[in-house]
Protein backbone atom coordinates (compact mmCIF):
# COMPACT_ATOMS: atom_id res chain seq x y z
CA UNK A 1 0.00 0.00 0.00
CA UNK A 2 2.78 2.42 0.91
CA UNK A 3 4.58 1.82 -2.39
CA UNK A 4 1.36 2.64 -4.28
CA UNK A 5 1.00 5.91 -2.33
CA UNK A 6 4.64 6.76 -2.98
CA UNK A 7 4.22 5.99 -6.67
CA UNK A 8 1.10 8.22 -6.83
CA UNK A 9 2.91 11.00 -4.98
CA UNK A 10 5.96 10.83 -7.25
CA UNK A 11 3.73 10.73 -10.35
CA UNK A 12 1.93 13.88 -9.25
CA UNK A 13 5.25 15.66 -8.70
CA UNK A 14 6.45 14.58 -12.14
CA UNK A 15 3.22 15.73 -13.81
CA UNK A 16 3.33 19.07 -12.00
CA UNK A 17 6.96 19.59 -12.96
CA UNK A 18 6.28 18.67 -16.58
CA UNK A 19 3.29 21.04 -16.73
CA UNK A 20 5.33 23.85 -15.19
CA UNK A 21 8.22 23.36 -17.62
CA UNK A 22 5.85 23.10 -20.58
CA UNK A 23 3.62 26.07 -19.71
CA UNK A 24 5.90 28.43 -17.78
CA UNK A 25 7.27 30.02 -20.93
CA UNK A 26 3.95 30.26 -22.79
CA UNK A 27 3.53 33.93 -21.96
CA UNK A 28 7.18 34.63 -22.55
CA UNK A 29 8.21 36.30 -25.76
CA UNK A 30 10.82 34.70 -27.96
CA UNK A 31 13.01 37.74 -27.35
CA UNK A 32 13.11 37.22 -23.57
CA UNK A 33 12.95 33.43 -23.52
CA UNK A 34 16.67 33.17 -22.80
CA UNK A 35 18.81 32.31 -19.79
CA UNK A 36 22.07 33.99 -18.75
CA UNK A 37 24.40 33.64 -15.75
CA UNK A 38 24.30 36.42 -13.16
CA UNK A 39 27.44 38.53 -12.97
CA UNK A 40 27.94 38.06 -9.23
CA UNK A 41 27.71 34.28 -8.94
CA UNK A 42 26.92 32.69 -12.34
CA UNK A 43 23.44 31.63 -11.14
CA UNK A 44 21.31 31.09 -14.27
CA UNK A 45 18.54 33.67 -14.72
CA UNK A 46 15.73 33.23 -17.23
CA UNK A 47 14.67 36.58 -18.66
CA UNK A 48 11.03 35.40 -18.90
CA UNK A 49 10.67 36.57 -15.31
CA UNK A 50 10.77 40.14 -16.61
CA UNK A 51 7.74 39.85 -18.92
CA UNK A 52 5.16 42.34 -17.68
CA UNK A 53 7.88 44.93 -17.08
CA UNK A 54 9.42 47.47 -19.40
CA UNK A 55 12.98 46.23 -19.95
CA UNK A 56 16.02 48.31 -20.83
CA UNK A 57 18.91 46.15 -22.07
CA UNK A 58 22.36 47.77 -22.06
CA UNK A 59 25.81 46.50 -23.01
CA UNK A 60 28.28 47.93 -20.52
CA UNK A 61 32.01 48.38 -19.91
CA UNK A 62 34.11 49.63 -17.01
CA UNK A 63 36.80 51.46 -19.00
CA UNK A 64 34.84 53.50 -21.52
CA UNK A 65 34.11 57.18 -21.99
CA UNK A 66 30.43 56.28 -21.43
CA UNK A 67 31.05 54.34 -18.20
CA UNK A 68 29.60 57.22 -16.18
CA UNK A 69 26.24 56.16 -17.66
CA UNK A 70 26.17 53.49 -14.95
CA UNK A 71 25.25 56.37 -12.63
CA UNK A 72 22.37 57.45 -14.89
CA UNK A 73 21.19 53.86 -15.28
CA UNK A 74 21.16 53.45 -11.51
CA UNK A 75 19.26 56.74 -11.18
CA UNK A 76 16.47 55.66 -13.57
CA UNK A 77 16.46 52.19 -11.99
CA UNK A 78 15.78 53.78 -8.62
CA UNK A 79 13.14 56.15 -10.05
CA UNK A 80 11.16 53.62 -12.12
CA UNK A 81 11.79 50.15 -10.64
CA UNK A 82 8.63 50.25 -8.51
CA UNK A 83 6.65 51.37 -11.58
CA UNK A 84 7.76 48.37 -13.64
CA UNK A 85 11.12 49.20 -15.25
CA UNK A 86 13.88 46.59 -15.20
CA UNK A 87 17.37 47.41 -16.43
CA UNK A 88 19.53 44.48 -17.56
CA UNK A 89 23.26 45.11 -17.84
CA UNK A 90 25.46 42.96 -20.06
CA UNK A 91 29.19 43.66 -19.67
CA UNK A 92 31.19 42.99 -22.81
CA UNK A 93 34.78 43.25 -23.91
CA UNK A 94 33.83 43.48 -27.61
CA UNK A 95 35.21 47.03 -27.71
CA UNK A 96 38.29 46.14 -25.60
CA UNK A 97 37.09 48.12 -22.57
CA UNK A 98 35.95 45.37 -20.20
CA UNK A 99 38.96 43.11 -19.61
CA UNK A 100 38.17 42.21 -15.98
CA UNK A 101 36.77 39.05 -14.47
CA UNK A 102 33.09 38.87 -13.55
CA UNK A 103 34.03 39.44 -9.89
CA UNK A 104 36.11 42.52 -10.76
CA UNK A 105 33.27 43.93 -12.89
CA UNK A 106 30.70 43.28 -10.14
CA UNK A 107 32.94 44.93 -7.52
CA UNK A 108 33.53 47.95 -9.78
CA UNK A 109 29.80 48.41 -10.51
CA UNK A 110 28.86 48.16 -6.84
CA UNK A 111 31.65 50.23 -5.33
CA UNK A 112 31.84 52.96 -7.99
CA UNK A 113 28.19 53.41 -9.00
CA UNK A 114 26.16 51.46 -6.44
CA UNK A 115 24.57 49.40 -9.23
CA UNK A 116 21.54 47.48 -7.96
CA UNK A 117 19.90 46.47 -11.26
CA UNK A 118 20.49 42.94 -12.63
CA UNK A 119 23.88 42.44 -14.27
CA UNK A 120 24.91 39.38 -16.23
CA UNK A 121 28.23 37.63 -16.87
CA UNK A 122 30.65 39.15 -19.38
CA UNK A 123 29.65 38.05 -22.88
CA UNK A 124 29.90 39.08 -26.49
CA UNK A 125 27.20 41.46 -27.78
CA UNK A 126 28.08 41.80 -31.47
CA UNK A 127 29.10 39.69 -34.40
CA UNK A 128 28.83 35.94 -34.82
CA UNK A 129 29.78 35.32 -31.19
CA UNK A 130 27.09 37.60 -29.74
CA UNK A 131 24.92 36.14 -27.01
CA UNK A 132 21.45 35.07 -28.11
CA UNK A 133 19.67 38.17 -26.76
CA UNK A 134 21.93 40.59 -28.59
CA UNK A 135 21.76 38.51 -31.78
CA UNK A 136 17.99 38.82 -31.72
CA UNK A 137 18.10 42.53 -30.85
CA UNK A 138 20.52 43.13 -33.73
CA UNK A 139 18.08 41.43 -36.11
CA UNK A 140 15.25 43.67 -34.87
CA UNK A 141 17.26 46.92 -34.99
CA UNK A 142 21.04 47.09 -35.11
CA UNK A 143 23.95 45.63 -33.21
CA UNK A 144 25.69 47.84 -30.65
CA UNK A 145 27.89 50.49 -32.22
CA UNK A 146 29.75 50.89 -28.91
CA UNK A 147 29.37 50.30 -25.19
CA UNK A 148 26.16 51.53 -23.54
CA UNK A 149 23.96 50.91 -26.57
CA UNK A 150 20.42 50.59 -25.21
CA UNK A 151 17.40 48.54 -26.25
CA UNK A 152 13.92 49.20 -24.89
CA UNK A 153 11.49 46.28 -24.68
CA UNK A 154 7.79 46.66 -23.88
CA UNK A 155 5.78 44.82 -21.23
CA UNK A 156 4.91 42.02 -23.65
CA UNK A 157 8.59 41.35 -24.31
CA UNK A 158 8.52 42.97 -27.75
CA UNK A 159 11.37 45.12 -29.01
CA UNK A 160 10.34 48.80 -28.99
CA UNK A 161 13.41 50.82 -30.05
CA UNK A 162 17.11 51.29 -29.53
CA UNK A 163 19.23 54.21 -28.38
CA UNK A 164 22.85 54.91 -29.24
CA UNK A 165 25.49 55.27 -26.54
CA UNK A 166 25.24 59.03 -27.07
CA UNK A 167 21.73 59.03 -25.55
CA UNK A 168 22.01 59.45 -21.80
CA UNK A 169 19.79 57.14 -19.75
CA UNK A 170 18.50 60.23 -17.92
CA UNK A 171 17.79 62.25 -21.09
CA UNK A 172 14.28 63.64 -21.63
CA UNK A 173 13.94 61.48 -24.74
CA UNK A 174 14.84 58.25 -22.90
CA UNK A 175 12.61 59.03 -19.91
CA UNK A 176 9.69 59.93 -22.19
CA UNK A 177 9.93 56.57 -24.00
CA UNK A 178 10.16 54.67 -20.71
CA UNK A 179 7.20 56.54 -19.24
CA UNK A 180 5.16 55.96 -22.41
CA UNK A 181 5.72 52.20 -22.18
CA UNK A 182 5.12 52.10 -18.43
CA UNK A 183 1.74 53.78 -18.94
CA UNK A 184 0.52 51.16 -21.42
CA UNK A 185 -1.50 48.22 -20.13
CA UNK A 186 0.34 44.98 -20.97
CA UNK A 187 -2.68 43.36 -22.63
CA UNK A 188 -3.72 46.40 -24.67
CA UNK A 189 -0.33 47.18 -26.13
CA UNK A 190 0.06 47.87 -29.80
CA UNK A 191 3.72 47.36 -30.60
Q: For the domain that residue 86 is a member of, what is the CATH number?
A: 3.40.30.10
Domain count, the chain: 1
**Is residue 20, in this structure, part of any structural domain at all?**
no
* Mean pLDDT (the chain, rounded): 88
**Is residue 139, in this structure, part of any structural domain at all?**
yes
Q: In sequence order, which residues have a C-beta less than 8 Å from that of residue 95 and are 6 or more positions away? A: 61, 64, 146, 147
Q: In sequence order, which residues have a C-beta less than 8 Å from that of residue 179 and are 6 or more positions away? A: none
**Residue 181 sits in which domain range?**
25-185
**Is residue 132, in this structure, part of any structural domain at all?**
yes
Phi then psi for residue 94, to 5 deg, are -60, -25
Cα 107 to Cα 11, 142, 149: the distances in Å are: 45, 30, 22
| pLDDT tens digit sequence for 81-129 | 999 999 999 999 999 999 999 999 999 999 999 999 999 999 999 999 9
**Is residue 134, in this structure, part of any structural domain at all?**
yes
Question: Is-above-0.75 flag for pTM?
Answer: yes
Of the two residues 49 and 8, the one the predictor is more confident about is 49
* Annotation says 28 is catalytic: no
**Predicted local confidence at residue 4, as pLDDT:** 47
> What is the arithmetic mean of pLDDT over 6-28?
45
For 151, the 3-state DSSP assignment is strand
**Is residue 100, in this structure, part of any structural domain at all?**
yes
Does the structure show a pLDDT above 90 at 185? no
**Is residue 164, in this structure, part of any structural domain at all?**
yes
**Is residue 17, in this structure, part of any structural domain at all?**
no
Catalytic residue among 28, 48, 64, 109: 64
**Predicted local confidence at residue 184, as pLDDT:** 86
**Is residue 16, in this structure, part of any structural domain at all?**
no
Amino acid sequence: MKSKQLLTFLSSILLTSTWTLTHAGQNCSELLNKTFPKLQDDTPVNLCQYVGNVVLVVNTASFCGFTKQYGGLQKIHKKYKDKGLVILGFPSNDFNQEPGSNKEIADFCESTYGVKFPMFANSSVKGVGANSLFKTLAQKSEEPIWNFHKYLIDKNGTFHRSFSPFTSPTSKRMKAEIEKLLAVDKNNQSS
